[in-house]
Amino acid sequence: MVATTLAQAGAKLVLHGHKGHDILEPLATAIRKENGMENVSIDTVYADLAAGEGQNLLMTAVSERVAVPDILVLAAGLDLMSAASKSLTFDERFERLWQVDVVASMRIARFFGKKMKETFQQQQQFQQQQPAKSGVIVFFSWDGVEHGMAGDTAQMYGAAKGAVQGLSRSLAKSLAPNVRVCCVAPGWIKTTWGETASPAMEEHVGRESLAKRWGTADEVATVIRFLVSDDASYLNNLTVPVNGGRG
């Protein structure tokens, strides 16, 4: 949904996936058709971010397609609720989560963040733009980082996303003013898992959100679209909770 929303705003996309060729390629085709861009290339890259080799592959492949991106949205994350993930031990799940959500995010953001900063510094010096245009990096955190939640999965996810949130704040100060760095922290968003939620979970969501309902992927994508736009040029080093307000 983030990809579709940014394409509608005019962004040229490089989409990343792990093994989901049957998902990513049809998505790219759908985005082209929806936006009248049948002849425009939307690049796709496949890499396993749980391993350093995969992280390197992604950075190299993206660099070959676009030397320096204007926008970097780090949305990759391990699905802790999948059957395959649940079959692993706590330590195995956490190790993979840490590699995908934290290590990969840090390495990719630092790699491209440095290139973005250098590029926009040069543009500012050459064009003397006032105010200067900046690059944007957006991380995905979790609103539970601030509030906590019981359970093994929440402990893992809170630790990983807390690290991402802390990384974003330090990176924002390192890359300013040429690159803005923000987080979105979704709450109860109705993904595929949410479609099969029990009545008890539905009640729980209603109690925790002041909106008294699940959020949607569209609502998260809309926030990201705003954060990466010029309208948000004075916003930096912040985490935006997309949760309807915590009850």
In three-state secondary structure terms, 23 is: helix
- Measured in whole angstroms, the distance separating CA 167 from the mean position of its chain's CA atoms is 13
Active site (catalytic) residues: 157
How many residues does the structure list for the chain?
247
Cis peptide bond N-terminal to 177, omega within 30: yes
Residues 170, 157: Cα–Cα separation, whole Å: 20
Tokens 């940014």 appear where?
Answer: 6
Per-residue burial over 48-75, b = 16 or more CB atoms within 10 Å of its CB, e = otherwise: ebbeeebbebbbebbeeeeebbbbbbbb
